[in-house]
Amino acid sequence: MNQNDPKKAKGLLIVYTGDGKGKTTAALGMCVRAVGYDWHVCLIQFIKGSWKYGELEGIKRLEPNVELHTVGEGFVGIVDDNKDFEEHRQAAKNGIKMAMEKITSGKYQLVILDELNIAVDLGLITEGEVDSLIDACNDKQHLVITGRNATKKLIERADLVTEMKEIKHPYQQGVLAQQGIDW
């Protein structure tokens, strides 16, 4: 069987969820793989926004095949968040609008919606909005959605779901997040 046979190709809905580390990292690995085949990738990060992450600089090295948009206003209700919840909600709604534009443009073989599950879990966006994004994908376009607490409905719709489960974490031994590994 020829794995490159376009008749066998199908756009997949892929979900990385769970309480363990590695959801965004797995999606970024898929992004790098896709660029290896000269695909065009759009990565939209929900929630994240107020911190600087290594992937922000690393993704620049994959241009022009990859574009990254950070649409969140930072972590909601934790760490250094002093923004009104409505400001976070509006940023997420703007991210949904951007995601719809990118998906329907037909330009991208892979669209990654990082931390979208968290945006739903926090009530920033609705399951219906996520359904609309999924429905807008063409039959050759792959969509990756990351974040803890994926809804049962999303899991049922997905073609592939991986749950990251924390077994052990350095933070439990007092080791803080490290540059290049965690951010």
Percent of the chain whose pLDDT exceeds 90: 68
pLDDT at 75 over 70: no
DSSP string, 28-51: HHHHHHHHHTT--EEEEESS--SS
Percent of the chain whose pLDDT exceeds 70: 85
| Residue that wins the pLDDT comparison between 176 and 137 | 137
pLDDT for 43: 97
pLDDT in tens, 26-66: 999 999 999 999 999 999 999 866 556 777 788 999 999 99
Per CATH, the number for 10-165 is 3.40.50.300
Contact 149, 121 (CB under 8 A): yes
pLDDT in tens, 76-120: 656 665 778 788 899 999 999 999 999 999 999 999 999 999 999
Rounded Cα gap, residues 35 and 28, in angstroms: 11
In one letter, which amino acid is 9?
A
Rounded Cα gap, residues 98 and 111, in angstroms: 11
Q: What is the pTM of this model?
A: 0.89
Domain limits of the chain?
10-165
pLDDT for 2: 40
